[in-house]
Structure 1
């Protein structure tokens, strides 16, 4: 009787160990390739920028000369990686580049 109880307990304990909470890593936005971002130069046309970086995640209808490339990775350990690349244009030419990369935020 004791042997069956112990065996049942061990079986249940083994099953419960496999029931840990698992959170998938979730990627959102444009993956910002550092090598591609390094190719950007002031004076490039919008078509050249799209060829290098792809289409921007956000184009503000009120500020059409600003393009935002945003990337967010939510990790299984509840930390986040956030990157943002903002490009400003003067007409059709790239005027200014602002980059915020590798910002880590942790939920506590």
Structure 2
């Protein structure tokens, strides 16, 4: 081999191996969870005597408060396992005059983080 072709071959091999590593099977992907973890037990503790501050103490700070209706707060939770599908849960807390009135919930069957 000529001296000039050795560095070119090394560069080509390095580039090929680098690109192959980008899609290497079996690479670890982390589980990603975001939001408030709320389960049925937490929702069971809600009662009409609770103020907004009491609800925040129990469930945490809501992810969003409705711009159009400040008497609604939304608690969202998402979980993505190993780079797969994203699983979502949503809890909406409804207040009347600053007191807990009711909630609407679409919970995951099992919260992976617990």
Gaps of 5+ in 2: 1-20
Distance of 2:62 and 2:31 partners within structure 1: 22
Instruction: Tell me, yes or no, if structure 1 residue 87 matches structure 2 residue 65.
Output: no
Distance of 1:43 and 1:85 partners within structure 2: 19
Aligned twin of 1:98: 104
Instruction: Tell me, yes or no, if structure 1 residue 21 matches structure 2 residue 27.
Output: yes
How does 1:1-108 map onto structure 2 within 5 Å? 20-76=26-82, 78-102=84-108
Q: Tell me how large the CA RMSD over aligned residues is.
A: 2.4
Query: Does the aligned pair in 2 maintain the 1:57–1:68 contact within 8 Å?
Result: yes
Number of positions where the alignment pairs a residue of Structure 1 with one of Structure 2: 88
Gaps of 5+ in 1: 1-15
Query: Does the aligned pair in 2 maintain the 1:83–1:103 contact within 8 Å?
Result: no
Answer with 1 or 2: which has the greater Rg. Answer: 2
The 1:80–1:103 alpha-carbon spacing in structure 2 relative to 1, beyond 3 Å, is farther
**Greater fraction strand:** 1
Distance of 2:48 and 2:28 partners within structure 1: 44
Deviates more, 1:44-53 or 1:19-28: 19-28
Deviation, structure 1 residue 20: 2.2
Name segments (4+ residues, structure 1) moved above 4 Å: none
Query: Does the aligned pair in 2 maintain the 1:29–1:72 contact within 8 Å?
Result: yes
